[in-house]
Every structure is written in C-alpha cells, then in structure tokens.
Chain A
Amino acid sequence: MSELRLQRATKRFGNLTVIEKLDLEVHDREFVVLVGPSGCGKSTLLRMIAGLEDITDGDLIIDGQRMNEIPAARRGLAMVFQSYALYPHMTVAQNMSVGLRIAGENKATIQNKVAEAARILQLEPMLDRKPKALSGGQRQRVAIGRAIVRNPRIFLFDEPLSNLDAALRLQMRLELSKLHDELAATMIYVTHDQVEAMTLADRIVVMNAGRIEQIGTPEELYQRPANLFVAGFIGSPKMNLVEAHSDGNVIDSAIGRYPIRVAEGPVTLGVRPEVIRIGCQDCSTTHSGHVQVVERLGANSFAYLDVGDRTLLTVELPGMTSIKAGEDLQISIPADKVLVFGGNGERLR
C-alpha cells in the first residue's frame, strides 16, 4: 500500500505564494501526472513531496503518516531528476548502488538489487561504464535504476524525458509505462508536455499558477475540460476557442449559430479540430472558411482556416489531404460536439 495525500498544502518563498491550499490524493499503484505550463508550481509540489522543499502550511500524509517534518531520505520515496543527477565519477553500478551503500547494506544484497534493476532496464552491459560514456536514454535508465534499487513506496519523476530527443522520448515513454505495470508501483510524474501526460497517466492533475485546475483521467480532461485553461492546454493541436455571444436560446459566433441554451452574455465555444467536417453531411450548421496554411503529417493533415472575425480555426483532415492553401472550404460542426465556456472560463456545457 502506498497512498499519498496533500491537505491544504501551501508553499511560500518569502511573500511569494507558489502553491496555495492544494488538496490532492494519489492512490496505491496509480500513475499520476502533474502537468501545467512552466512556473505553475508542479516541480515545487513534487519537491515538497520529496522533502527537498519545506511545506509552509498544510499536511503531507503518506500511508497514513504525516511526513512534513520527516527528512527526504526517510520518506521512502525515490526521485528521478530532469538532469538525471548521475554522479559523473561513479560507474553505472556505483551510481545505482550509492543509496544502498550509504544505508550500509551488505555487498551481496547490493549486487542482487543492482543486477535486478539492470535486468529490468537492460543496463547489464553498461554497469562498469561512467555516465559520460552513455547516451541520453541510457543515462535516464540509470537514473530510474537508481530509484528502483531503493524499492521506494512512491516513485517521483521530475520532467525526466525533457532532455531527450523526440524519438527517444517516445521510446522512454513506452518503457516507463511498461515499468509501471511491471513494478506495480505508485508514481507521480511532472511534465509540461501534455502528450506525455495523456499517454502515461491513470489520472492527470492540471496545474496553473499554483492551483489545481482539474483532476481526471486523460479522457475526462480531453472530452470534458472543466474550464478554458484545461481546454486550451490538453490536446494537440489545441482546441479551437471562438469568442461568441449567447442571447439565452442561441449562440452566435464566427463559426455559425448554435441553438444551445445557456445564460445570456459573452461565451467561448470550444471545438476540437477532429470534430470539424468538410462540407455538410448531417450537420447542424455550415460555415465557410479560407484555407491559409495546410500541414500534411502523413496519417493526417491540419488545415488552418480563416473563418472571419479574426478567427483562425484548426481542422484535422484524414491522410495527406489534397486541399491547398488559398481554397475556400465549407465546414460544418455538429452542435453536440461544441463545448461552451462562460464568461468566467468555466465550462457550461
């Protein structure tokens, strides 16, 4: 059992409040991803959990025990750093075993644990190498190996893939996912990359300016974002957000009129690029747009449409589309796929 609970956790640096009265529960064996833009406080929150930053106010409870005053080493956590934090003068085996040596474990135990972690991470041929002789991905695996040998209650990852190139990041993402299944461990993972969050997480915690905007499964966050911030942050490419006005019965916007009943006043419509259709088949409304740019990615393409009123709409198209920049297109958006956000940014529908 490894559960973690933060209750009204607050972090202040002098007069600056970085985290404010934050509540969060992480369940046993859960993979929770903290995601948000740079400076939103997600790394600070992880460091508070790790014991590398004091908690100014509130409680951190792990497996029922309050941990605020417990030193980092005695919380039973292991952390993988963004920079890997490998000791450059030590070999891979020494890097992985340093915690066990400090704890005074006997040689045989150390050897067994290092060998087991090396097997899991396919590091066996590299145990005698120093970090400078390893690639970025191998270094990252050593950092993970160092965490594994400690057999921690909870693994903490602080943007562990951000120093890797795109191909390696994808590979490491898969390996981390497999590792989570294999170890059946509780993991808390910080990233600013929403693709990592969507692909790895059981639940995602979207943070902004030291607060939690929404907690949910990747599907919940994608389909039912709680507010404009989450709607804009989750999904790649971003959700189309279009300024509109509701008269109480109908919403009027640059992308058409929708018979959606929400309170009168300014609203924002949210439309995912993949729900927009070209032409009109079984649709509630049609609208025309002028294609400005087309990006062809192979399996799909993205067209950027000027629909007037200074509104640029991203439309996802299947395959390598033949549509070209400069063309005019008819588009339609099913009304049931349109999300509506109120003037305060909260989702109304």
Chain B
Amino acid sequence: MKAQTMRRIAPYLFLFPSLLLLISFVYAPALENMVYSLFSWSSVRIESRFVGLDNYRELFASQIFWRALVNNALYAVISIVFQVFFALVIAAVLVAGVFGPLLRNFFRTAFFLPSILPVTVVGLLWQLIYQPTIGLIDQLLFATGLQSLSHVWLGEEATVMMSVIMVSQWQWTGYMIVLFMVAIQAIPSDLYEALRMEGASRIQQFFYITVPGVRESTLILAIITIFGAFKVFDIIWVMTAGGPNNASEVLGTHMYRSAFRNDVSGYAAAVATVIFFITLAVGAVQIRLQRQD
C-alpha cells in the first residue's frame, strides 16, 4: 500500500522542484508585472498610485510604441524569410549531396560559426563593417564604383532597422541551417529514391518530401524565430540603442528605456505585458497547428 502511494506521488515529487522554480521566477513575476502595469510607480520610491488602464492608453497613443511594434514585426518577417525559408533551402542543398563531404562540412561550419559569437562582439564587429566611408561595406561600394549606394547605415532612419536586422540574420541563419540539416537527415532516404524513380526533379523532391518531412521542425523553428523577434533587445541595444530618433526602437528597448532611463515603471510593465500577450498568442497558434498534425 505504501509502495503504491509512493509510486503515485513519485512523479509529482520529481516535478515539484522545477515547478516551484517556474512559479517563483516566471509565472508569479509575469502575473505581478501585469498588476504593476495598473499602477503609476517609480523604482526609486515606495509609493505607487493605481491608475487602472492609463498606462495602456498612454502606450497605445505613443508613436514610439507603434514604431517599435512595426520594427518587431519587420524583424519577425525578415527573420522568417532568412532563418526559416532560406535556411531550409540551404540545408536541403547541403544534405542533397550537391557538394562533396569536405565542402559540405566547410559550409556547415562557416554558416554555424557566427551563432557561437557573443552578441556584443557581433554588434561591435558589424558597427565597424557599417562604418561610413572606412567600413567594409562602403569600401566595397567605393571599390566597385557603387558609391552612390553608400549610406550612414546605422545613422540614417531609412537604413538603420534593416541594417540591424541583417546582422541578426547573419548571426542566426547558420544555426537554423544546422537544425534543418538534422531534421532533413532524419527523413528516410528511400522516400527520395522512390520519388526519383517516379521521375521527380530535385526541386520536386524538395516540395514533395523535404518540406512536408520537416513540417514539424519548420513550425517549431518559425515559432521560436517569431518569439525571438518580439523579445529582441541585445543586438539593438548594442548597435543603436533604438536610435537614431527611435528609428530602430523595438518593444524590448522601449520597455528598458521606460523602466531604467525614464523611470516610468508602470508604463514599462504595460509594454512587458503586451510582449507577453503577443508571444502567448504566437504560442497558442503553434499549439493549434501542432494539434492539427
């Protein structure tokens, strides 16, 4: 009887420590943050004042918030294109044996390397590459007679966001390629052979077998990419701190600036709540799509 009871409660005992940590450091603070967003308060004063949804009204009326949201959305869309679509295609090409094993390993390593660099290093490296006139990009443009295309890449409102987004793609696409390669290699090779015998070209094999074969991985990686795009903070903060003139502001930097620079913590909590609900919605879509499988 005692052994039976132990067997029943044993799984809960194993789960309890991690559940306790999750509640303490994730769910409770998230809930507390929502409560904070209903108050006007400062991190340097004890008093706080209940303002209801005022922080949200102010947030939705803020041009910076909408600009940040659009930037996050742009970040997500471009990340999906590079880190999901391009990564899948490149992974399929590498796995398909178009290159010999030596060249394939070289490409895989070369694509993967940026992902192991710290974001600060990447940010500083690309600041140098983007330097006007003396940076690598401008040097290349000048060398090829395309100086008319030269920009102050991180200093102009028109180019700054795309410039930072492309750095992120440079850093993470290789990582996604490796993950997709693993997923593609798990597809049985006789499916490809069977389709080859049916007369399918490599492109048809890609669409008939590879794409459906990695559907689940694609879905999860796409969701992770979107999560990352709406939570992004570090690369923006290192490279532009949201500038110039809030042109590269994202929700993460807007929240950080509100909390720790402008000391409007209730407002920052409202931004955090919005980020939470956006990622929650994306997560719900993921669960729904996976259930459909």
Interface residues of A (CB under 8 A from B): 50-52, 72-74, 77-79, 81-83, 85, 87-89, 98-99, 102-103, 146, 150
Complex CA–CA separation, A82 to B215 (angstroms): 25
* Number of interchain pairs (Cβ within 8 Å): 55
Min CB distance, B210 to chain A, in Å? 11
Find out whether the CB atom of A81 lies under 8 angstroms from the CB atom of B190.
yes
Complex CA–CA separation, A51 to B196 (angstroms): 9
Interface residues of B (CB under 8 A from A): 188, 190-191, 193-200, 204, 208-209, 212-213, 215
Find out whether the CB atom of A89 lies under 8 angstroms from the CB atom of B198.
no
Question: Which of B199, B200, B212 counts the most A-chain CB atoms under 10 A from its CB?
Answer: B199
The one of B194, B197, B215 in contact with A89, judged by C-beta atoms closer than 8 angstroms, is B215
Beyond A87-B195, A150-B198, 15 extra complex contacts between A and B, CB < 8 Å: A51-B197, A72-B196, A73-B197, A73-B199, A79-B193, A83-B188, A85-B191, A87-B191, A87-B212, A88-B213, A89-B212, A98-B195, A99-B197, A102-B198, A103-B199
Complex CA–CA separation, A218 to B166 (angstroms): 68
Complex CA–CA separation, A143 to B6 (angstroms): 49
With CB as the reference atom, state the residue of chain A lying closest to B191: A85
Question: Which of B194, B199, B209 counts the most A-chain CB atoms under 10 A from its CB?
Answer: B194
| Contact residues in A for B196 (Cβ distance below 8 Å) | 52, 72-73
With CB as the reference atom, state the residue of chain A lying closest to B192: A85
Min CB distance, A251 to chain B, in Å? 50
The one of A78, A83, A87, A103 in contact with B197, judged by C-beta atoms closer than 8 angstroms, is A78
The one of A78, A87, A102, A146 in contact with B204, judged by C-beta atoms closer than 8 angstroms, is A102
Complex CA–CA separation, A258 to B208 (angstroms): 66
The one of A73, A79, A82, A87 in contact with B208, judged by C-beta atoms closer than 8 angstroms, is A87
| Contact residues in B for A150 (Cβ distance below 8 Å) | 198
Complex CA–CA separation, A81 to B195 (angstroms): 12
Asked whether A99 and B191 contact (CB < 8 A) given A87-B208, A87-B209, A89-B212, the answer is: no
Min CB distance, A86 to chain B, in Å? 8
With CB as the reference atom, state the residue of chain A lying closest to B196: A72
Complex CA–CA separation, A146 to B199 (angstroms): 13
Find out whether the CB atom of A98 lies under 8 angstroms from the CB atom of B198.
yes
Question: Which of B190, B212, B213 counts the most A-chain CB atoms under 10 A from its CB?
Answer: B190
Complex CA–CA separation, A83 to B204 (angstroms): 21
With CB as the reference atom, state the residue of chain A lying closest to B205: A102
| Contact residues in B for A102 (Cβ distance below 8 Å) | 195, 198-200, 204
Complex CA–CA separation, A73 to B205 (angstroms): 13
| Contact residues in A for B199 (Cβ distance below 8 Å) | 73-74, 99, 102-103
Between A and B, 11 residue pairs with Cβ closer than 8 Å are A52-B197, A77-B197, A78-B197, A85-B191, A87-B212, A88-B213, A99-B197, A102-B195, A102-B198, A102-B199, A103-B199
Complex CA–CA separation, A88 to B209 (angstroms): 9
Question: Which of A74, A89, A146 counts the most B-chain CB atoms under 10 A from its CB?
Answer: A89
Find out whether the CB atom of A79 lies under 8 angstroms from the CB atom of B204.
no
Complex CA–CA separation, A267 to B87 (angstroms): 66
Find out whether the CB atom of A81 lies under 8 angstroms from the CB atom of B193.
yes
Find out whether the CB atom of A99 lies under 8 angstroms from the CB atom of B198.
yes
Find out whether the CB atom of A72 lies under 8 angstroms from the CB atom of B200.
no
Complex CA–CA separation, A301 to B200 (angstroms): 53
Complex CA–CA separation, A52 to B188 (angstroms): 15
Find out whether the CB atom of A85 lies under 8 angstroms from the CB atom of B198.
no
Find out whether the CB atom of A85 lies under 8 angstroms from the CB atom of B209.
no
Complex CA–CA separation, A98 to B209 (angstroms): 11
Min CB distance, A78 to chain B, in Å? 7
| Contact residues in B for A78 (Cβ distance below 8 Å) | 197
With CB as the reference atom, state the residue of chain B lying closest to A156: B197
| Contact residues in B for A73 (Cβ distance below 8 Å) | 196-200
Min CB distance, A323 to chain B, in Å? 48
| Contact residues in B for A85 (Cβ distance below 8 Å) | 188, 190-191, 193-194
| Contact residues in B for A99 (Cβ distance below 8 Å) | 197-199
| Contact residues in A for B193 (Cβ distance below 8 Å) | 52, 72, 79, 81, 85
Asked whether A72 and B190 contact (CB < 8 A) given A87-B208, A98-B208, A102-B204, the answer is: no
Min CB distance, A160 to chain B, in Å? 12
Min CB distance, B100 to chain A, in Å? 14
Complex CA–CA separation, A98 to B195 (angstroms): 8
Min CB distance, B212 to chain A, in Å? 4
| Contact residues in A for B204 (Cβ distance below 8 Å) | 102
Min CB distance, B240 to chain A, in Å? 43
Min CB distance, A216 to chain B, in Å? 30
Complex CA–CA separation, A81 to B194 (angstroms): 8
Min CB distance, A48 to chain B, in Å? 13
With CB as the reference atom, state the residue of chain A lying closest to B195: A98
Complex CA–CA separation, A120 to B110 (angstroms): 53
Complex CA–CA separation, A51 to B194 (angstroms): 11
Complex CA–CA separation, A77 to B193 (angstroms): 13
The one of A74, A79, A88, A103 in contact with B194, judged by C-beta atoms closer than 8 angstroms, is A79
Find out whether the CB atom of B197 lies under 8 angstroms from the CB atom of A50.
yes
| Contact residues in B for A74 (Cβ distance below 8 Å) | 199
| Contact residues in B for A52 (Cβ distance below 8 Å) | 193, 196-197
Min CB distance, B156 to chain A, in Å? 46
With CB as the reference atom, state the residue of chain A lying closest to B194: A85
Q: Which 9 A-B pairs have the closest CB atoms?
A: A73-B199, A99-B198, A85-B194, A89-B212, A85-B190, A81-B190, A72-B197, A102-B200, A102-B199
Complex CA–CA separation, A87 to B209 (angstroms): 7
| Contact residues in B for A89 (Cβ distance below 8 Å) | 212-213, 215
| Contact residues in A for B215 (Cβ distance below 8 Å) | 89
| Contact residues in A for B208 (Cβ distance below 8 Å) | 87, 98
Find out whether the CB atom of A79 lies under 8 angstroms from the CB atom of B197.
yes
With CB as the reference atom, state the residue of chain B lying closest to A75: B197
